[in-house]
Amino acid sequence: MESPKSLGHSEAKMAPEHIRSPKEKIIFCIDLDHSMDEYFMTGEKLNDTRINRTKQLLKWFIEQKSSWNKDHEFAIVVLGEKAVWHMDFTSDTMLLTHAIDELYTMGRFRSFDTTSLFRAILQNVDLDEDDGSVIRAIMVYTRSDVLPTQPEDEILEVLHSSGRFYFDCVYIHNKNSEVQGSIKPQDIYDRLTDLESVQYPGYFYELARLMKKFTTSMSELLASPTIRPQQEKFSAVMDPPPSVTKHRQELKQQQQYQQQLQHQHQREQQREHSQPQSPPTPKRAEMNKVSDASHIFGSQSPVRSMSHTPPPRPSSIPPVFASPKDGHTSPMRGSKTELLPHSYGAKNGGSGNTGTGSAGSGSGTGMDDAILI
């Protein structure tokens, strides 16, 4: 939550009366030690000084509280070695803005008198006033090596016994490694928390260089001390709207469904790997060979089918030029025998169709001798 740098009173919108918080008299107790000039950090970069950021948040705080209840009043106390009442109670946001803009650091202070702060509050607040208001002191302390003094118990007892006084504190400090000397930020923070009333507890924050945490702390202090819970139980997180909740539930259901499908797929794979593979039967092996051959030779494979197609049956009518072997009877000639034609020329080295030699020498008439019936 970021604070506007400048706010105008005319921009404030009043909340309905039935939800307005009780009237509050808020006293800002601002440290003006030279430590206020140190910088906040955003990541690894310097952002803004503590004093500038404090001014912005104070003006934003006043504007927010005034928009909820215009009867809220604010006062300013500055802290040096002692507390000084700087501005009296007023609900005029313009005057408060000018007073806050005039705040600046005033040097290095080696001590702080805590009793002077509560004495100044007692002198400027009427605890006997019965107007239903509460009195709040919000302290911003920034010294890392100056331990506040222990306040007088009588003054604190008067304030706490009134039942109207609440003390809150934001402590901005350096890291322990950056502080020299025996006094450490933890000692100072413990002393500040001792100012709290057990019956009317306050809110206490400590931070180093995180500007976002400073903004968050001031945002939580907007709540009225009469209705806010104890700090340990306080939560500034609002419940998401129903549409966002429904969308988140749908996304969660989809993720669960995807995980179930993934687990089911993994179990099926594990089951397949765990089952033993039986050796193929002869018929299956033969079919596998045929399938492999089909992949190799394609549709024209000679082993596409293992079944053998028988040749066509011979015709009952023999060919015209069919000649049975020597000594066989011809079905068309009855019992007469036929002699097959013989060629003698080319068989034994003759001159072929025109050779004239004998059977031994290859000579002949060049004609095939045949007996025709």
Q: What are phi and psi of 8, to 5 degrees?
A: -115, 145
Which CATH number covers residue 32? 3.40.50.410
Higher pLDDT, 269 or 217: 217
For the segment 153-163, what is each residue's pLDDT rounded down to a tens digit? Answer: 999 999 998 88
pLDDT the model gives residue 176: 84
Determine, yes or no, domain membership for 63.
yes
Let me know if residue 336 belongs to a domain.
no
> Is 210 a member of any domain?
yes
Amino acid letter at 283? K
User: Is 163 inside a domain boundary?
Assistant: yes
Does the structure show a pLDDT above 50 at 149? Answer: yes
Mean pLDDT of 242-264: 87
* Tens digit of each residue's pLDDT (9 = 90 or more) over 23-42: 999 999 999 999 999 988 77
Task: Give the three-state DSSP class for 159.
Answer: helix
Q: State the chain's mean pLDDT as an integer.
A: 77
**Both tokens assigned to 43:** 């990541």
More confident position, 234 or 96: 96
- pLDDT tens for 321-349 read 444 444 444 444 444 444 445 444 444 44
Distance between CA atoms of 1 and 176, rounded to whole angstroms? Answer: 28
- HSE on the CB side for 157, CA within 13 Å? 3
User: What is the Cα Rg of the chain in Å?
Assistant: 57
How do residues 279-321 score in pLDDT, each as one tens digit?
555 555 556 555 555 555 554 544 444 555 566 665 555 555 4
Tell me whether residue 4 is in a domain.
no
Of the candidates 352, 76, 10, the one whose C-alpha atom is nearest the C-alpha of residue 362 is: 352
Q: For tokens 């099926």, name the residue.
A: 268
The answer to whether the CB of 79 falls within 8 A of the CB of 117 is: yes
Confidence of residue 216 (pLDDT cuts 50, 70, 90): very high
Is 213 within a domain? yes
Is the residue at 308 inside a domain? no
**Taking the C-alpha atoms of 251, 256, 262 and 267 in order, what is their torsion angle to the nearest 10 degrees?**
-170
* Degrees, nearest 5: CA angle 206-196-191: 55
pLDDT tens readout for residues 163-178: 899 999 999 999 888 8
Q: What domain count does the chain have?
A: 1
Q: What is the pTM of this model?
A: 0.59
CA atoms within 13 Å, Cβ hemisphere of 54: 29
Q: Is residue 39 a part of any domain in this protein?
A: yes
Please calculate the CA angle 302-306-308 and round it to the nearest 5 degrees. Answer: 90
**pLDDT at res. 222:** 93
Residue 239: pLDDT band (50, 70, 90) is: low
Residues of the chain above pLDDT 90, percent: 42
Range of the domain at 121: 22-222
Listed in sequence order, the residues at least 6 apart from 176 whose beta carbon sits closer than 8 Å to its beta carbon are 184, 185, 186
Q: Judge contact between 269 and 262, C-beta under 8 A.
A: no
